[in-house]
């Protein structure tokens, strides 16, 4: 399978037990879309080494870039570094430059604080303006912290280094139900496999449409072609508007 785009692994007992609502997944989804990097999957898993190893290995097999969120602090439930190393078949090593950063920061350093300096072998630290804690990366896996403001901050430092490709998107709002428009959508989707066509019904009588159809691709011409074909296959009064 071709490894393209990005995949995310959210490490979060606290999310799956409803102690906090995950903000990092939705933020990552939005930012990747804005910079034009397609996202293949988001997996939320428990703080469990086996579950993380499995999810990271899978993310790596399908995507060029892997983002993890959470589990990189100094406590017993912070197992992301170990799991990423296992998923890559590498050892965990202590990074001397990170030990220095931790020493410079604290007078009474505990042994546990030094766990922050552990990383999969071959890891690279991306320095960050305005904070002592760099971004931990290894082979296009980005190990971001779970705390939302740190996650956002570190994510921007990563995205600056990646190159996306903007997406061309058109939307058609239709007065008919999905069953009535399925045949024409089928035909166009089948003929134009490189155009992604989505069909999203709404069940809200206060809206003036029943289905939103989305048409997107990396190139504008096929999007306009598909839009014209779908419009042509529907009764003229079925279309509420397009965007």
Contacts to a copy of itself by CB under 8 A: 13-22, 25-26, 29-30, 32-34, 38-47, 51, 73-78, 106, 109-113, 115-116, 147, 149-150, 167, 178-183, 185-186, 189-190, 196-203, 214, 216
* CB nearer a copy of itself, residue 90 or residue 192: 192
The alpha carbon of residue 202 and the mean position of all alpha carbons in its chain are separated, in whole angstroms, by: 26
Nearer to a copy of itself, 90 or 158 (CB): 158
Answer for the pair 213, 166: CB distance below 8 angstroms, yes or no.
no
Closer residue to a copy of itself (CB): 124 or 202: 202
Q: Please state, in angstroms and rounded to a whole number, the distance separating the CA atoms of residues 231 and 172.
A: 9
Half-sphere exposure of 216 (CA within 13 A, CB side): 14
Min separation Cβ 122 and a copy of itself, Å: 25
C-alpha Rg value of the chain to the nearest Å: 22
Query: Smallest distance from the beta carbon of 159 to a copy of itself, in angstroms?
Result: 14
Residue 120 contacts residue 79 (beta carbons within 8 Å): no
Taking alpha carbons only, the member of 113, 107, 40 closest to residue 74 is 113
- Where do the H-state alpha helices sit in 70-212? 80-88, 96-105, 148-159, 178-191
State the nearest-atom distance from the C-beta of 137 to a copy of itself, in Å.
21
CA 124 – CA 109 distance, rounded (Å) = 23
> Which one, 90 or 101, has the nearer CB to a copy of itself?
101
Q: Which is nearer to a copy of itself, 90 or 180 (CB)?
A: 180
CB of 114 to a copy of itself, least distance (A): 9
> Min. distance of Cβ 8 from a copy of itself in angstroms?
9
- In terms of CB distance, is 176 or 240 closer to a copy of itself? 176
CA–CA distance from 235 to each of 43, 154, 176, 186, 199 (Å)? 41, 50, 10, 16, 17
- Least distance in Å: CB of 124 to a copy of itself? 23
């Amino acid at each position: 399978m071709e490894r393209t785009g990005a995949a995310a692994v959210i490490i979060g007992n606290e999310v799956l037990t409803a102690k906090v609502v995950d903000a990092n997944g939705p933020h990552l989804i939005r930012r990747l879309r804005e910079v034009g990097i397609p996202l293949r999957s988001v997996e939320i898993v428990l703080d469990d080494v086996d579950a993380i190893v499995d999810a990271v290995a899978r993310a790596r097999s399908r995507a060029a870039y892997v983002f993890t969120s959470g589990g990189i602090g100094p406590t017993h439930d912070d197992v992301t570094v170990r799991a990423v190393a296992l998923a890559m078949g590498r050892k965990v090593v202590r990074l001397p430059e990170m030990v220095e950063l931790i020493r410079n920061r604290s007078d009474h350093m505990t042994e546990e604080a030094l766990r922050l300096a552990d990383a999969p072998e071959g890891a690279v630290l991306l320095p960050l303006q305005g904070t002592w804690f760099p971004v931990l990366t290894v082979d296009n896996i980005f190990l971001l912290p779970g705390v939302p403001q740190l996650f956002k901050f570190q994510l921007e430092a990563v995205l600056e280094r990646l190159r996306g490709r903007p997406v061309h998107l058109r939307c058609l709002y239709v007065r008919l139900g999905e069953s009535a428009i399925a045949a024409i959508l089928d035909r166009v989707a089948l003929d134009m496999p490189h155009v992604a066509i989505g069909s999203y019904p709404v069940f809200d009588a206060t809206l003036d449409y029943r289905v939103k159809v989305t048409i997107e691709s990396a190139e504008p011409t096929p999007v306009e072609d598909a839009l014209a074909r779908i419009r042509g296959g529907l009764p003229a009064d079925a279309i509420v508007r397009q965007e």
